[in-house]
Amino acid sequence: MAELADMSQTDADASVFDDPESLAEALRGEGYVIDRNLSVVVHLATVLGRPLLLEGPAGVGKTELAKSLAAASGRRLIRLQCYEGLDDARALYEWDYARQLLHVQMLRDRITAELSGYEDLSSASAALARTNVGVFTEDFLVARPLLAAILSPEPVVLLIDEIDRTDEAMEAVMLEVLAERQVTVPELGTFTARSEPWIVLTSNDTRELSAALKRRCIHFSVDYPDSARECEIVASRAPDVEEAAVVDVVGLAGRLRKLPLRKSPSVAEVIDAARAASILGDDSPGRTRALLSLLVKFGADVDTALEHLSTGNASTSASGGPEIAADGSSPRGSVTSAAFGAGRARSSSRR
């Protein structure tokens, strides 16, 4: 038993990254390119054992970070997808009533014989209440994501995705898990975490989260990556796409994000658009409109994008910086140079 405990402890220690650099390298191996500031915060969350709350617009890689963190650490991912109307039974646990009923039916004859000696119904009912028929045990407990993370003997990554879609009442249900790493089941008592889960919460910032929840978390605001890092992300996820196509689409997405759209292009959509640009080629008729079909998802937004792209009103980058042309060039130099290195940029321009 001591040897098993030592092995378990060794496995747990091996899953903790030594420093932010090793964490970033491990995530890069899973195709996730993380910036320095976020890697430091994620490392702190894993070392301190504190929940990590990531807030920011949809499509900036918050969910993907949790998935990549699980893959890089060798931990199982347990995901709770939040939505309006989420209740305890879907988040914590529920009883398997069908199995409980079957269990009672199997014991029916034995129960009838045991109660036959009582003269009236009230005394028989009282005797039945004192008898433990084994209905409320862990065998009949159906663990939902929060309890499953607590009961897991192996460390897991618990992803509570889009928590801003629930109401504050559901947030309060989660506080016990976030603060004490435990879940209380009235019929059985309190289950304390059997291993140390890493907890990642994401929010698209559609509503303000409660102060009680934020107080229990390490908080980080995630925004769209800059052009150089987004080029690197796209190149890592779509290695077959030419550099020129990557830079072209990233520059287009940056201009679109500056516009008053209902939904700005996500990083995942930029990756899809880069693959499409590689298939279409530079001289394909209707190329821009085809790329907008992947980057923009509302009709009114398409009209806005076409108007601004045709008139040149979106001449500055999403960060308010200098103009980035469709080929990735700017007054400060090529975005390709920043993302891939000057040598590769020159090679790309010669092609």
Report CA Rg, the chain.
Answer: 27
Confidence of residue 128 (pLDDT cuts 50, 70, 90): low
Question: Could you tell me the two tokens for 324?
Answer: 């980035």
Q: What is the mean pLDDT of the chain?
A: 83
Q: How many CB atoms lie within 10 A of CB 136?
A: 15
Report how far residue 135's alpha carbon sits from residue 252's, in angstroms, rounded to the nearest whole number.
Answer: 61
pLDDT tens figures, 60-105: 999 999 999 999 999 999 999 999 999 988 999 998 878 878 877 7
Give this prediction's pTM.
0.77
Non-local CB neighbours of 8 within 8 Å, separated by 6+ positions? none
* Tens of pLDDT, residues 37-67: 999 999 999 999 999 999 999 999 999 999 9
Q: What is the percent of the chain with per-residue pLDDT over 90, rounded to a whole number?
A: 62
DSSP 9-67: HHHHHHTS-SSHHHHHHHHHHTT----HHHHHHHHHHHHHT--EEEE-STTSSHHHHHH
Which residues, listed in sequence order, are joined to residue 143 by a DSSP beta bridge?
93
2-20: pLDDT as tens digits: 333 443 443 444 457 999 9
d(Cα 34, Cα 188) in Å, to the nearest integer? 42
| Predicted local distance difference test score (pLDDT) of residue 99 | 80
Tell me the residue length of the chain. 351
Q: Are residues 211 and 318 in contact, defined by beta-carbon separation less than 8 angstroms?
A: no
pLDDT 10s digits, 231-289: 999 999 999 999 999 999 999 999 999 999 999 999 999 999 999 999 998 878 889 99
Tokens of 254: 């940056």
For residue 139, give the amino acid letter.
Answer: D
- Indicate the SS3 state at residue 93: strand
